[in-house]
Amino acid sequence: MEKSVRNIIIAIVAVLTFSTTSFAANNSDDAIAERIKPVGQVYLANDVPVVEEPTGPRSGEQVYNTFCIACHATGAAGAPKTQNAEDWAPRIAKGMDTLKDHALNGFNAMPAKGSCMNCSDDEVIAAVEHLIKGL
């Protein structure tokens, strides 16, 4: 019995030695600094802006590729797919005024302006025209 107790004590000492060594290695100043470093930066009003505002009107293709593509390329949330005439036919049948109104003010799962809140109405309408061109 004495031999088995001795083996258990040796095993416990070995486990504690290796686990504290591993723990100590992970708690070096460099390792701690790496784990708690900021994931982003905060900009105050007088700092340089994070994203520059567009300097001129964007094309329908630019707006589509930035804001619309996520839903309209995949059909997410029931969005009519790009270049799919079957998806677009009932919408186009309602007329361009309705399409423009839905794009600007939102419709069903689509938010107003497709969530492009810094897009002008003309840019959103250009994106609609880009979406349905060639159907």
The structural domains of the chain, with segments of one domain joined by +, span 60-132
Residue holding tokens 């069903």? 108
pLDDT tens profile 38-64: 877 776 767 666 566 657 799 999 999
Q: What are the residues whose beta carbons fall under 8 Å from the beta carbon of 64, sequence distance 6 or more?
A: 72, 82, 127, 130, 131
Distance CA(103)–CA(131), nearest Å, equals: 11
Report the top-level CATH class of 60-132: mainly alpha
Query: Are the beta carbons of 97 and 89 closer than 8 angstroms?
Result: no
pLDDT tens profile 18-31: 665 555 556 778 87
